[in-house]
Amino acid sequence: MIRRGRGVAVTIHSSGLTGGNDPSEAIIRLHVDGSVTVSIGSVDMGQGVKTIARQLTAEVLEMDPKLVKVIAGDTDPDPMCTGQFASRTTLVCGNAVKKAAEDLKYKIMQYAAAKFQTPMEQLVYSDGVIASAVEPGKRITLPELAGEACWVAQDALIGVGRHCPVFPPRDMETGKADFFQALQYCACVADVAVDDETGEVEVEKLYVALEMGKALNPLLLEGQIEGGASFGVGFGLSEDILPYYPSIEHMRTSFREYRIPTALDMPPVESVLVEKPSSFGPFGAKGCGEIVVNPVGPAIVNAVSNALGGVRFFELPLTPERVLRALEEHEKAEACQK
């Protein structure tokens, strides 16, 4: 018989390492045609750091994102980056890119102030045009300024940014300390169908709500949610490296036995983005790479337990054998109580 159930799980996760010492750097160079190149040490593994770096740069410099080229992951010329882990990239690398863009913008304004012999405070930067707020005739576009800086003044306009989370000292009286600059929150609801004769579990639908600060790119976030959900379904239902009885020769040695969910195995995933901007992230954003994985497996377990009338599980994945064994033990325990 097919039994259906619903399960819920919630989780919390940090962005970046605890206690600091987690730097990232960025370098942005203005070219003669008004375009820019962003160099970062972060690696784009599909999570979209190049897109986010392009967006942040274009936002600060008020330019078309098509004019922003991002070079990432070349450890020879690119600046320092601790790495891609701990959901740190948007928060730490993103802040470094934002600071580099702001540094370049300041140097652009500084160059324009010297050119116009005008105090920098009287200049306005808007949509790639630098103009005097008090003398309308004094204005220059970013490509014009870049060309003049290169060919006439022979000046290189380069912005540099570095971000390393700084934490307040430990409270010596209470022993408490803030070890994280930003925390994300995620909830998952799983609907499942369980065959109590075969032990097979089918996830029919997942609902995932993610609070990740400001959503810089909702499409990328939905991709992260769906990818994280597939990880959770995998370790919830099929992924296991323990050897089978009776010996280690039965261990899974290839992806034929070690089943990773594909798009064909995934249920519909309904994503909900909850925005609560962080004061620590670039334009309020936080990381989101790992947190979605965490609640999916527990939500599936709770859903199966709900479907089977309270059967408890203490091992993952929920293979058919484990489901049937747990159901049998649960029914025996209930019979003994009667």
Q: What is the CATH number of the domain that holds 128?
A: 3.30.365.10
Domain hosting 30: range is 24-163
Same domain, 158 and 219: no
What is the arrangement of strands in the sheet containing 139-141, beginning at the earlier edge strand?
A: 123-126, 129-132, 139-141
Domain-located, residue 19: no
Torsion angle of the four alpha carbons 230, 236, 240, 242, in this order, in degrees rounded to the nearest 10: 160
Same domain, 154 and 190: no
Residue 19: the pLDDT is 61
This prediction has a pTM of 0.87
Residue 20: the pLDDT is 60
Query: Residue 157 burial by CB count (10 A; 0-12/13-18/19+): exposed, middle or buried?
Result: buried
Same domain, 108 and 207: no
What are the φ/ψ torsions at residue 314 (nearest 5 degrees)?
-130, 10
Same domain, 190 and 322: yes
Residue 288: the pLDDT is 85
| Residue 113 exposure: Cα atoms within 13 Å on the Cβ side | 13
**Other C-beta atoms within 10 Å of 23: how many?**
17
Domain-located, residue 50: yes
User: Residues 6 or more apart from 75 whose CB is under 8 A from it?
Assistant: 41
Same domain, 58 and 159: yes
Same domain, 159 and 219: no
Single residue among 130, 163, 196 that ends a domain in this structure: 163
Same domain, 48 and 157: yes
Same domain, 143 and 213: no
Single residue among 117, 137, 163 that ends a domain in this structure: 163
Counting the structural domains of the chain, the total is 2
Same domain, 206 and 318: yes
The one-letter code for the residue type at 174 is T
Single residue among 163, 198, 228 that ends a domain in this structure: 163
pLDDT 10s per residue in the chain (338 long)?
999 999 999 999 888 776 667 888 999 999 999 999 999 988 888 788 999 999 999 999 999 999 999 999 887 888 888 878 878 888 889 999 999 999 999 999 999 999 999 999 999 999 989 999 888 889 999 999 999 888 887 788 999 999 887 776 777 888 777 777 788 999 999 999 999 999 999 999 999 999 989 999 999 999 999 999 999 999 899 888 776 655 666 677 788 878 889 889 899 999 999 999 988 889 999 888 889 999 999 999 999 999 999 999 998 999 999 999 999 888 887 777 77
Domain-located, residue 197: yes
Judge whether 290 counts as a catalytic residue.
yes
Catalytic member of 290, 315, 329, 334: 290
Same domain, 213 and 120: no
